[in-house]
Amino acid sequence: MSQRNFFGLIALLIVTFGVFWASKSSFEDSDLQPTVRFLEHVNSDKIQEIVLTRGEESLTIAKQGGIWTLPAKDGYPADPGKVRSLLLSLFELKSSQKITDQEDHYARLGVTDESVKEGKAKIELRGPDASTLAGFYVGDMRKSRTPGEMPGMSGQYVREIRSSDVYLIGDRVPVIVLISNWLLRNLSNILPKGIEKVTQFELEGSELKPVFSLQRTEHKEGEEAPMFALDSAEGEKPQTVAATQVQTGLENMRIVDVLKDGDATKEFKFDRKTQYVLNNGLVYSVTTAELGEKFFAKLSVEFDPTVKPLEGDKVTASSQEDAEKLNQQYVDWVFELPKYLGQKFRVSRAALLSDAANAG
């Protein structure tokens, strides 16, 4: 190699190294830096709204009276566990790898407003006056550079709303804008062993009249389900499929959707009521309507101090205050139930007798 070519090569290496060093702090080849915790400056108690945006969809979760609610569902409660999980994951976010601070790289990393419109996500945490306390652009997942790269090198790009810095975080931030994901779905979870009596009512004219009752007779130790008898000699075979369906109506009771009771529900014909008397004194009433393949329910709870549990039951008596607290979740709402669940509250006496006859 000639001396001229040698010095030319050295000059080229110097220029290349200079370009690399200049860009090192602005893109992915930067060294690891001290760990940054993103929301250390935010007081979580001041957060009154969480706004999630992805593409053209946006969802607001708002705190009302200390309860997280869904304004798009007329203020119906959001699932507190899911909201808590989201906030904890955000407050635990940290990174020691700054990727870039240059705006011309934002689009390729998915951390711009335009990226959000195209399907990436943004999270805003707002205070009492609707001002933005903090938030993130949640961008692309980091792509592996080589086939043999270590699994721990994956991650996702994020940028705080008021910051020019893009970081790589190790854990993915799930941003789900489907309102169904955030509904408080659980209405009750009461096992048959906690039920003393079940009565089914049907609408006759303008009045709901009882058509059958199932009375708990015993619950032997080690048995999965108690024995229920029909309210006549016809109940000699109480453990029928139809009877079991009725008894388990309050077990793992979850909803598909919810509507505010009003104009949207005034045409619903609530023509069946199933009443459950619990051995702790609470009385649940589930009044239902059937529209095509859909089932809708209203719930209410009362307290009956005259209820006495069967001998051997280990039960803590409830109270009127407990009933009123439960009603706060149920009052003014109409719940859409899964089909399999809605059918449990609309079993006829004829179905019970037919089922018993077939079993015999």
Going by pLDDT thresholds of 50, 70 and 90, the confidence category of residue 25 is very low
Tokens of 22: 């200049």
Work out whether strand 257-260 and strand 253-254 pair parallel, antiparallel, or are unpaired: unpaired
What pLDDT is attached to residue 326? 94
Check pLDDT > 80 for residue 31: no
| Least reliable range by pLDDT among 2-6, 39-43, 66-70, 151-155 | 2-6
Is pTM, for the whole model, over 0.85?
no
Check pLDDT > 50 for residue 181: yes
Query: How far apart are the C-alpha atoms of 296 and 343, rounded to whole Å?
Result: 10
Query: How far apart are the C-alpha atoms of 140 and 116, rounded to whole Å?
Result: 11
Check pLDDT > 90 for residue 174: no
Going by pLDDT thresholds of 50, 70 and 90, the confidence category of residue 8 is low
Check pLDDT > 70 for residue 191: yes
Residue that the structure tokens 């990393």 belong to: 109
- 8 A C-beta contact, residue 74 and residue 260: yes
Query: How far apart are the C-alpha atoms of 60 and 143, rounded to whole Å?
Result: 31
What percent of the chain shows pLDDT beyond 90?
66
**Among 251, 210, 197, CA closest to 349:** 210
What pLDDT is attached to residue 172? 86
Mean pLDDT computed over 14-43:
62
Q: How far apart are the first and last CA of the chain?
A: 103
Write out pLDDT tens, residues 246-280: 999 999 999 999 999 999 999 999 999 999 999 99
Own/partner pairs, 180-183, CB within 8 angstroms, 24+ separation: 180/256, 180/257, 181/82, 182/59, 182/61, 182/70, 182/78, 182/79, 182/82, 182/83, 183/70, 183/73, 183/76, 183/78, 183/79, 183/255, 183/257, 183/258
What pLDDT is attached to residue 317? 85
251 to 188, 246, 270, 276, 300: CA distances (angstroms): 7, 10, 21, 12, 16
What pLDDT is attached to residue 16? 46
Going by pLDDT thresholds of 50, 70 and 90, the confidence category of residue 33 is confident
Residue 51: beta bridge partners? Answer: 60, 124
Tokens of 19: 């370009």
- For residues 13 and 37, the model is more confident at 37
What pLDDT is attached to residue 26? 45
Residue 26, burial from CB neighbour count under 10 angstroms (0-12, 13-18, 19+): middle
| Least reliable range by pLDDT among 2-11, 98-107, 295-304 | 2-11
Q: If DSSP states are collapsed to H, E and C, what string results for 330-350?
A: HCCEEEEECHHHHHHHCCCHH
Write out pLDDT tens, residues 84-128: 999 999 999 999 899 999 999 999 999 999 999 999 999 999 999
Check pLDDT > 80 for residue 42: yes
Check pLDDT > 90 for residue 12: no
Return all residues near 119 (Cβ < 8 A) that are at least 6 apart.
Answer: 54, 55
Cα angle value 258/241/311 (rounded, 5°): 90
Cα angle value 293/297/303 (rounded, 5°): 155
Going by pLDDT thresholds of 50, 70 and 90, the confidence category of residue 242 is confident
- Give residue 66's Cα distance to chain centre: 18
Mean pLDDT computed over 158-187:
94
**Category of 90 on φ-ψ map: left (φ > 0), alpha (ψ -120 to 50) or beta:** alpha
